[in-house]
Amino acid sequence: MMRAVELAANGPAWGPNPRVGCVIVGADGAVLGEGWHRGAGTPHAEPAALTDARERGNDVAGATAYVTLEPCSHTGRTGPCTEALAAARIGAVRYAVADPNPQAAGGGEVLRARGIDAAHAPLDAAAALNRRWLGAVERGRPWVIAKWAQTLDGRTAAADGTSFWVTGEEARAHAHGVRAEVDAILVGTGTVLTDDPSLSARPPHVEDPHQPLRAVMGLRDTFGAKVWRDEDAIAVRSHDPRDALAALAAREVRTVVVEGGGTITSAFLRAGLVDEVHAYIAPAILGSGTNAVGDLGIATMSGALRGRDVTATALGVDTLVTAFFQRGPQ
Ligand SMILES: NC(=O)c1ccc[n+]([C@@H]2O[C@H](COP(=O)([O-])OP(=O)(O)OC[C@H]3O[C@@H](n4cnc5c(N)ncnc54)[C@H](OP(=O)(O)O)[C@@H]3O)[C@@H](O)[C@H]2O)c1
Protein backbone atom coordinates (compact mmCIF):
# COMPACT_ATOMS: atom_id res chain seq x y z
CA MET A 1 0.00 0.00 0.00
CA MET A 2 2.92 2.36 0.66
CA ARG A 3 4.01 1.83 -2.95
CA ALA A 4 0.47 2.70 -4.05
CA VAL A 5 0.72 5.94 -2.01
CA GLU A 6 4.05 6.71 -3.73
CA LEU A 7 2.43 6.21 -7.13
CA ALA A 8 -0.59 8.33 -6.15
CA ALA A 9 1.75 11.24 -5.38
CA ASN A 10 2.66 11.37 -9.10
CA GLY A 11 -0.84 12.70 -9.85
CA PRO A 12 -1.66 16.41 -9.78
CA ALA A 13 -2.55 17.93 -6.39
CA TRP A 14 -5.00 20.30 -8.15
CA GLY A 15 -8.13 19.37 -10.10
CA PRO A 16 -11.49 17.96 -9.07
CA ASN A 17 -10.23 14.42 -8.45
CA PRO A 18 -8.12 12.94 -5.63
CA ARG A 19 -4.66 11.50 -6.10
CA VAL A 20 -4.95 7.70 -6.22
CA GLY A 21 -2.44 4.91 -6.75
CA CYS A 22 -2.90 1.16 -7.31
CA VAL A 23 -0.57 -1.84 -7.17
CA ILE A 24 -1.70 -5.30 -8.29
CA VAL A 25 0.15 -8.12 -6.53
CA GLY A 26 0.12 -11.82 -7.42
CA ALA A 27 -0.23 -14.71 -4.95
CA ASP A 28 3.59 -15.02 -4.81
CA GLY A 29 3.95 -11.33 -3.90
CA ALA A 30 5.18 -10.29 -7.36
CA VAL A 31 3.99 -6.89 -8.61
CA LEU A 32 1.89 -7.54 -11.71
CA GLY A 33 0.85 -3.98 -12.53
CA GLU A 34 0.98 -0.43 -11.20
CA GLY A 35 -0.92 2.74 -12.01
CA TRP A 36 -2.01 6.11 -10.80
CA HIS A 37 -4.63 8.68 -11.70
CA ARG A 38 -3.26 11.51 -13.83
CA GLY A 39 -6.21 13.88 -13.43
CA ALA A 40 -9.85 14.38 -14.36
CA GLY A 41 -10.88 12.70 -17.61
CA THR A 42 -7.95 10.23 -17.60
CA PRO A 43 -8.21 6.59 -16.39
CA HIS A 44 -8.53 6.01 -12.66
CA ALA A 45 -5.66 4.25 -10.87
CA GLU A 46 -7.23 0.76 -11.02
CA PRO A 47 -7.80 0.63 -14.83
CA ALA A 48 -4.33 2.18 -15.25
CA ALA A 49 -2.80 -0.65 -13.18
CA LEU A 50 -4.85 -3.27 -15.06
CA THR A 51 -3.60 -1.84 -18.37
CA ASP A 52 -0.02 -1.89 -17.07
CA ALA A 53 -0.41 -5.55 -16.06
CA ARG A 54 -1.82 -6.42 -19.51
CA GLU A 55 1.03 -4.60 -21.23
CA ARG A 56 3.51 -6.55 -19.11
CA GLY A 57 1.76 -9.77 -20.18
CA ASN A 58 0.60 -10.56 -16.63
CA ASP A 59 -2.64 -12.39 -15.78
CA VAL A 60 -4.28 -10.72 -12.76
CA ALA A 61 -6.97 -13.37 -12.13
CA GLY A 62 -7.06 -14.03 -8.37
CA ALA A 63 -4.51 -11.26 -7.64
CA THR A 64 -4.86 -8.57 -4.94
CA ALA A 65 -5.26 -4.90 -5.83
CA TYR A 66 -3.97 -2.38 -3.28
CA VAL A 67 -5.68 0.96 -3.90
CA THR A 68 -5.21 4.15 -1.86
CA LEU A 69 -8.92 5.10 -2.20
CA GLU A 70 -12.05 2.94 -2.24
CA PRO A 71 -12.73 1.96 -5.89
CA CYS A 72 -15.58 3.97 -7.39
CA SER A 73 -18.78 2.30 -8.43
CA HIS A 74 -20.19 5.10 -10.56
CA THR A 75 -19.85 6.30 -14.11
CA GLY A 76 -18.46 9.81 -14.19
CA ARG A 77 -15.98 10.96 -16.81
CA THR A 78 -14.82 7.31 -16.83
CA GLY A 79 -16.55 3.98 -16.09
CA PRO A 80 -16.83 2.33 -12.66
CA CYS A 81 -13.58 0.85 -11.33
CA THR A 82 -15.49 -1.89 -9.52
CA GLU A 83 -16.55 -3.22 -12.96
CA ALA A 84 -13.03 -3.06 -14.34
CA LEU A 85 -11.66 -4.99 -11.33
CA ALA A 86 -14.43 -7.59 -11.49
CA ALA A 87 -14.05 -8.02 -15.26
CA ALA A 88 -10.32 -8.65 -14.76
CA ARG A 89 -11.22 -11.34 -12.15
CA ILE A 90 -9.24 -9.65 -9.37
CA GLY A 91 -9.50 -11.86 -6.24
CA ALA A 92 -9.08 -9.30 -3.47
CA VAL A 93 -9.04 -5.53 -3.01
CA ARG A 94 -7.57 -3.54 -0.11
CA TYR A 95 -8.34 0.20 -0.01
CA ALA A 96 -6.68 2.64 2.39
CA VAL A 97 -9.36 5.36 2.51
CA ALA A 98 -13.14 4.96 2.29
CA ASP A 99 -14.52 7.31 -0.39
CA PRO A 100 -16.46 10.15 1.29
CA ASN A 101 -17.96 11.25 -2.04
CA PRO A 102 -21.60 10.06 -1.88
CA GLN A 103 -21.72 9.70 -5.69
CA ALA A 104 -18.69 7.42 -5.84
CA ALA A 105 -18.83 5.65 -2.43
CA GLY A 106 -19.98 2.10 -1.79
CA GLY A 107 -17.45 0.51 -4.14
CA GLY A 108 -16.26 -1.87 -1.39
CA GLU A 109 -19.80 -3.12 -0.92
CA VAL A 110 -20.30 -3.55 -4.67
CA LEU A 111 -17.09 -5.59 -4.91
CA ARG A 112 -18.10 -7.81 -1.98
CA ALA A 113 -21.48 -8.40 -3.64
CA ARG A 114 -19.53 -9.55 -6.71
CA GLY A 115 -17.74 -12.14 -4.55
CA ILE A 116 -14.46 -10.22 -4.34
CA ASP A 117 -12.68 -10.15 -0.97
CA ALA A 118 -12.71 -6.34 -0.57
CA ALA A 119 -11.73 -4.70 2.73
CA HIS A 120 -10.84 -1.26 4.11
CA ALA A 121 -7.16 -1.26 5.18
CA PRO A 122 -6.63 2.22 6.69
CA LEU A 123 -3.29 3.94 6.15
CA ASP A 124 -2.66 7.48 7.47
CA ALA A 125 -0.21 8.32 4.67
CA ALA A 126 -2.95 7.70 2.10
CA ALA A 127 -5.39 10.01 3.88
CA ALA A 128 -2.67 12.66 4.38
CA LEU A 129 -1.95 12.78 0.64
CA ASN A 130 -5.53 13.83 -0.08
CA ARG A 131 -6.17 15.79 3.11
CA ARG A 132 -7.45 18.87 1.27
CA TRP A 133 -9.56 16.89 -1.23
CA LEU A 134 -11.07 14.74 1.52
CA GLY A 135 -11.80 17.85 3.61
CA ALA A 136 -13.47 19.55 0.64
CA VAL A 137 -15.71 16.56 -0.11
CA GLU A 138 -16.63 16.10 3.57
CA ARG A 139 -17.45 19.80 4.02
CA GLY A 140 -19.26 20.10 0.67
CA ARG A 141 -17.24 23.21 -0.19
CA PRO A 142 -13.70 24.04 -1.33
CA TRP A 143 -10.86 23.59 1.19
CA VAL A 144 -9.66 27.06 2.21
CA ILE A 145 -6.02 28.00 2.74
CA ALA A 146 -5.57 31.54 4.08
CA LYS A 147 -2.17 32.84 3.02
CA TRP A 148 -0.42 36.08 3.85
CA ALA A 149 3.05 37.59 4.18
CA GLN A 150 3.60 39.57 7.37
CA THR A 151 6.21 41.45 9.32
CA LEU A 152 7.20 40.35 12.83
CA ASP A 153 4.57 42.73 14.16
CA GLY A 154 1.81 41.23 12.03
CA ARG A 155 1.59 43.86 9.26
CA THR A 156 0.86 42.86 5.67
CA ALA A 157 1.28 46.36 4.23
CA ALA A 158 2.79 49.68 5.33
CA ALA A 159 0.66 52.72 6.23
CA ASP A 160 0.90 53.96 2.61
CA GLY A 161 -0.51 50.62 1.32
CA THR A 162 2.80 49.32 -0.08
CA SER A 163 3.40 45.60 0.41
CA PHE A 164 6.15 44.96 -2.19
CA TRP A 165 7.85 43.12 -0.73
CA VAL A 166 7.24 41.98 2.80
CA THR A 167 9.22 38.78 2.32
CA GLY A 168 12.25 37.80 0.26
CA GLU A 169 12.61 35.88 -2.98
CA GLU A 170 12.64 32.38 -1.48
CA ALA A 171 9.37 32.91 0.36
CA ARG A 172 7.74 34.39 -2.73
CA ALA A 173 8.97 31.49 -4.89
CA HIS A 174 7.50 29.06 -2.35
CA ALA A 175 4.13 30.82 -2.49
CA HIS A 176 4.17 30.51 -6.29
CA GLY A 177 4.77 26.77 -5.89
CA VAL A 178 1.67 26.54 -3.67
CA ARG A 179 -0.39 28.44 -6.27
CA ALA A 180 0.56 25.82 -8.86
CA GLU A 181 -0.87 23.08 -6.59
CA VAL A 182 -4.31 24.59 -5.99
CA ASP A 183 -7.40 25.16 -8.11
CA ALA A 184 -8.06 28.82 -7.37
CA ILE A 185 -6.74 32.03 -5.80
CA LEU A 186 -9.17 34.48 -4.23
CA VAL A 187 -8.45 38.11 -3.32
CA GLY A 188 -10.58 41.08 -2.34
CA THR A 189 -11.20 44.10 -4.55
CA GLY A 190 -9.01 46.12 -2.16
CA THR A 191 -5.96 44.04 -3.02
CA VAL A 192 -6.66 44.21 -6.77
CA LEU A 193 -7.10 47.99 -6.68
CA THR A 194 -4.02 48.56 -4.49
CA ASP A 195 -1.54 45.99 -5.82
CA ASP A 196 -2.89 45.02 -9.27
CA PRO A 197 -1.48 41.48 -8.90
CA SER A 198 -1.53 39.07 -11.84
CA LEU A 199 -2.15 36.13 -9.44
CA SER A 200 -0.33 33.65 -11.67
CA ALA A 201 1.82 30.71 -10.60
CA ARG A 202 5.49 31.24 -11.39
CA PRO A 203 7.38 28.61 -9.39
CA PRO A 204 11.09 28.40 -10.15
CA HIS A 205 12.31 25.47 -12.26
CA VAL A 206 8.80 24.55 -13.49
CA GLU A 207 8.41 24.83 -17.27
CA ASP A 208 4.66 25.16 -17.69
CA PRO A 209 2.95 25.30 -14.28
CA HIS A 210 -0.77 24.74 -13.85
CA GLN A 211 -2.47 28.13 -13.53
CA PRO A 212 -5.23 28.39 -10.90
CA LEU A 213 -8.54 30.11 -11.54
CA ARG A 214 -8.42 33.71 -10.26
CA ALA A 215 -11.34 35.12 -8.28
CA VAL A 216 -12.00 38.62 -6.98
CA MET A 217 -14.49 39.21 -4.19
CA GLY A 218 -16.22 42.55 -3.55
CA LEU A 219 -18.67 45.00 -5.04
CA ARG A 220 -16.37 47.46 -6.78
CA ASP A 221 -15.50 47.15 -10.44
CA THR A 222 -11.89 46.05 -10.98
CA PHE A 223 -12.03 45.44 -14.75
CA GLY A 224 -8.90 46.68 -16.45
CA ALA A 225 -6.75 45.16 -13.71
CA LYS A 226 -4.10 42.55 -14.65
CA VAL A 227 -6.14 39.70 -13.18
CA TRP A 228 -8.67 40.09 -16.01
CA ARG A 229 -6.10 39.78 -18.79
CA ASP A 230 -6.64 36.05 -18.72
CA GLU A 231 -10.12 34.69 -19.34
CA ASP A 232 -9.93 32.27 -16.44
CA ALA A 233 -10.99 34.70 -13.75
CA ILE A 234 -14.30 35.32 -12.01
CA ALA A 235 -15.84 38.18 -10.03
CA VAL A 236 -17.84 37.38 -6.90
CA ARG A 237 -19.96 40.44 -6.25
CA SER A 238 -20.66 39.71 -2.61
CA HIS A 239 -19.18 40.16 0.86
CA ASP A 240 -20.29 36.70 1.98
CA PRO A 241 -17.49 34.10 1.95
CA ARG A 242 -20.10 31.38 1.39
CA ASP A 243 -21.08 33.01 -1.92
CA ALA A 244 -17.43 32.98 -2.98
CA LEU A 245 -17.06 29.29 -2.09
CA ALA A 246 -20.30 28.41 -3.91
CA ALA A 247 -19.07 30.22 -7.04
CA LEU A 248 -15.76 28.37 -6.83
CA ALA A 249 -17.43 25.00 -6.16
CA ALA A 250 -19.52 25.55 -9.31
CA ARG A 251 -16.19 25.67 -11.17
CA GLU A 252 -15.14 22.34 -9.55
CA VAL A 253 -12.64 24.06 -7.25
CA ARG A 254 -11.52 21.75 -4.41
CA THR A 255 -8.78 23.96 -2.93
CA VAL A 256 -8.62 27.74 -2.90
CA VAL A 257 -5.93 30.00 -1.49
CA VAL A 258 -7.35 33.18 -0.01
CA GLU A 259 -4.47 35.61 -0.50
CA GLY A 260 -5.95 38.59 1.32
CA GLY A 261 -6.17 41.29 2.03
CA GLY A 262 -6.93 41.38 5.71
CA THR A 263 -10.59 42.25 5.12
CA ILE A 264 -11.53 39.09 3.28
CA THR A 265 -9.15 36.89 5.29
CA SER A 266 -10.93 38.10 8.44
CA ALA A 267 -14.35 37.47 6.87
CA PHE A 268 -13.38 33.86 6.17
CA LEU A 269 -11.96 33.38 9.68
CA ARG A 270 -15.06 34.94 11.29
CA ALA A 271 -17.26 32.53 9.30
CA GLY A 272 -15.18 29.54 10.45
CA LEU A 273 -14.25 28.82 6.85
CA VAL A 274 -10.45 28.61 7.06
CA ASP A 275 -9.01 25.09 7.08
CA GLU A 276 -5.31 25.88 6.79
CA VAL A 277 -3.13 28.95 7.30
CA HIS A 278 0.15 29.74 5.55
CA ALA A 279 1.83 32.73 7.22
CA TYR A 280 5.14 33.87 5.70
CA ILE A 281 6.89 35.86 8.42
CA ALA A 282 9.64 38.35 7.62
CA PRO A 283 12.11 39.64 10.23
CA ALA A 284 10.85 43.19 9.69
CA ILE A 285 8.94 45.62 11.89
CA LEU A 286 6.64 48.40 10.65
CA GLY A 287 4.82 49.57 13.76
CA SER A 288 1.86 50.79 11.69
CA GLY A 289 0.03 49.69 8.56
CA THR A 290 -2.46 46.94 7.67
CA ASN A 291 -2.95 43.99 9.99
CA ALA A 292 -2.86 40.44 8.61
CA VAL A 293 -6.17 39.76 10.37
CA GLY A 294 -8.75 42.20 11.74
CA ASP A 295 -11.23 41.91 14.58
CA LEU A 296 -12.73 38.44 14.88
CA GLY A 297 -14.82 39.21 17.95
CA ILE A 298 -12.43 37.24 20.17
CA ALA A 299 -11.92 39.13 23.42
CA THR A 300 -10.11 36.65 25.61
CA MET A 301 -7.10 34.32 25.29
CA SER A 302 -9.12 31.14 25.73
CA GLY A 303 -11.08 32.14 22.63
CA ALA A 304 -8.01 32.17 20.35
CA LEU A 305 -8.20 30.03 17.23
CA ARG A 306 -5.44 27.46 17.65
CA GLY A 307 -3.81 25.59 14.79
CA ARG A 308 -2.61 22.02 14.89
CA ASP A 309 -0.12 19.91 12.90
CA VAL A 310 2.03 23.05 12.79
CA THR A 311 5.13 23.30 10.59
CA ALA A 312 7.80 26.00 10.52
CA THR A 313 10.07 26.19 7.46
CA ALA A 314 13.00 28.56 7.01
CA LEU A 315 12.91 30.26 3.60
CA GLY A 316 15.99 32.47 3.40
CA VAL A 317 15.64 35.04 6.17
CA ASP A 318 11.87 34.41 6.39
CA THR A 319 9.86 31.65 8.04
CA LEU A 320 6.74 29.94 6.76
CA VAL A 321 4.39 28.77 9.51
CA THR A 322 1.58 26.45 8.42
CA ALA A 323 -1.21 25.12 10.60
CA PHE A 324 -4.52 23.32 10.18
CA PHE A 325 -7.67 24.66 11.83
CA GLN A 326 -10.67 22.73 13.07
CA ARG A 327 -13.86 23.19 11.22
CA GLY A 328 -15.55 26.20 12.78
CA PRO A 329 -19.16 27.32 12.67
CA GLN A 330 -20.41 26.93 9.08
N1 LIG B 1 1.20 40.95 2.59
C2 LIG B 1 0.22 40.26 2.08
O3 LIG B 1 0.20 39.03 2.15
C4 LIG B 1 -0.93 40.97 1.44
C5 LIG B 1 -1.84 40.23 0.69
C6 LIG B 1 -2.91 40.91 0.11
C7 LIG B 1 -3.07 42.26 0.29
N8 LIG B 1 -2.13 42.95 1.03
C9 LIG B 1 -2.30 44.38 1.25
O10 LIG B 1 -3.54 44.56 1.91
C11 LIG B 1 -4.08 45.80 1.54
C12 LIG B 1 -5.51 45.61 1.08
O13 LIG B 1 -6.25 45.12 2.17
P14 LIG B 1 -7.83 45.13 2.18
O15 LIG B 1 -8.24 44.50 3.45
O16 LIG B 1 -8.31 46.48 1.83
O17 LIG B 1 -8.10 44.24 0.90
P18 LIG B 1 -9.08 43.09 0.48
O19 LIG B 1 -9.48 42.19 1.58
O20 LIG B 1 -8.42 42.49 -0.71
O21 LIG B 1 -10.34 43.88 -0.08
C22 LIG B 1 -11.25 44.48 0.77
C23 LIG B 1 -12.46 44.87 -0.04
O24 LIG B 1 -13.11 43.72 -0.52
C25 LIG B 1 -14.52 43.92 -0.48
N26 LIG B 1 -15.03 42.88 0.41
C27 LIG B 1 -15.15 41.58 0.05
N28 LIG B 1 -15.61 40.85 1.06
C29 LIG B 1 -15.82 41.68 2.09
C30 LIG B 1 -16.31 41.51 3.41
N31 LIG B 1 -16.72 40.31 3.86
N32 LIG B 1 -16.35 42.56 4.22
C33 LIG B 1 -15.96 43.77 3.78
N34 LIG B 1 -15.50 44.00 2.53
C35 LIG B 1 -15.43 42.97 1.69
C36 LIG B 1 -14.73 45.35 -0.05
O37 LIG B 1 -14.72 46.14 -1.21
P38 LIG B 1 -16.00 46.50 -2.11
O39 LIG B 1 -16.41 47.87 -1.75
O40 LIG B 1 -15.47 46.41 -3.51
O41 LIG B 1 -17.06 45.47 -1.85
C42 LIG B 1 -13.48 45.65 0.73
O43 LIG B 1 -13.14 47.01 0.75
C44 LIG B 1 -3.20 46.37 0.44
O45 LIG B 1 -2.37 47.36 0.97
C46 LIG B 1 -2.39 45.18 -0.01
O47 LIG B 1 -1.12 45.58 -0.45
C48 LIG B 1 -1.09 42.32 1.59
| Residues facing 244 on adjacent strands | none
CB of 181 closer than 6 angstroms to any ligand 1 atom: no
Q: How confident is the model at residue 327 (pLDDT cuts 50, 70, 90)?
A: low
CB 312 within 8 A of CB 319: yes
Q: What is the DSSP letter of 43?
A: P
The per-residue pLDDT for 104 is: 72
List pLDDT tens digits, range 149-172.
999 999 999 999 999 999 999 999
Label residue 77 by pLDDT band (50, 70, 90). confident
41-63: pLDDT as tens digits: 999 999 999 999 999 999 999 99
Whether 113 shows a pLDDT value over 60: the answer reads: yes
DSSP 219: S
Q: What pLDDT shows up at residue 61?
A: 98
Residue nearest (by alpha carbon) to ligand 1 atom 1 = 156
| pLDDT(329) > 80 | no
Give the confidence band of 85 by pLDDT, cuts at 50, 70, 90.
very high
pLDDT confidence of residue 311: 98
User: If you average pLDDT over every residue of the chain, what do you get?
Assistant: 95
Residue percentage of the chain with pLDDT more than 70: 99
DSSP secondary-structure letter at 177? H
pLDDT at 184: 98
Domains, in order of start, for the chain = 2-129 (3.40.140.10), 141-324 (3.40.430.10)
Q: What positions carry a catalytic annotation?
A: 46
The answer to whether the peptide bond before residue 261 is cis (omega within 30 degrees of 0) is yes
Contacts of residue 302, defined as CB under 8 A and 6 or more positions apart, other chains included, come to none
Band of residue 76 on the pLDDT scale cut at 50, 70, 90? confident
Q: Is 224 left (phi over 0), alpha (psi -120 to 50) or beta?
A: left
Cα–Cα distance measured from residue 121 to residue 69, given in angstroms and rounded to the nearest whole number: 10
Mean pLDDT of the region 201-212: 94
Q: How far apart are CA 134 and CA 132, in angstroms?
A: 5
pLDDT tens-digit map of 266-300: 999 999 999 999 999 999 999 999 999 999 999 99
Query: In this model, does residue 330 exceed pLDDT 50?
Result: no
User: Is the CB of 276 within 6 Å of ligand 1?
Assistant: no
Quick check: CB of 289 below 6 Å from ligand 1? Answer: no
Nearest residue (by CA) to ligand 1, atom 14, is 261
Measure the CA dihedral 294/300/305/310, to 10°.
110
Instruction: Check pocket membership of 266 for ligand 1, CB cut-off 6 A.
Output: no
Instruction: Give the atom of ligand 1 at the shortest distance from the alpha carbon of 222.
Output: 40
Q: Which of 147, 191, 270 to mutate to test the pocket of ligand 1 (most atoms within 8 A of CB)?
A: 191
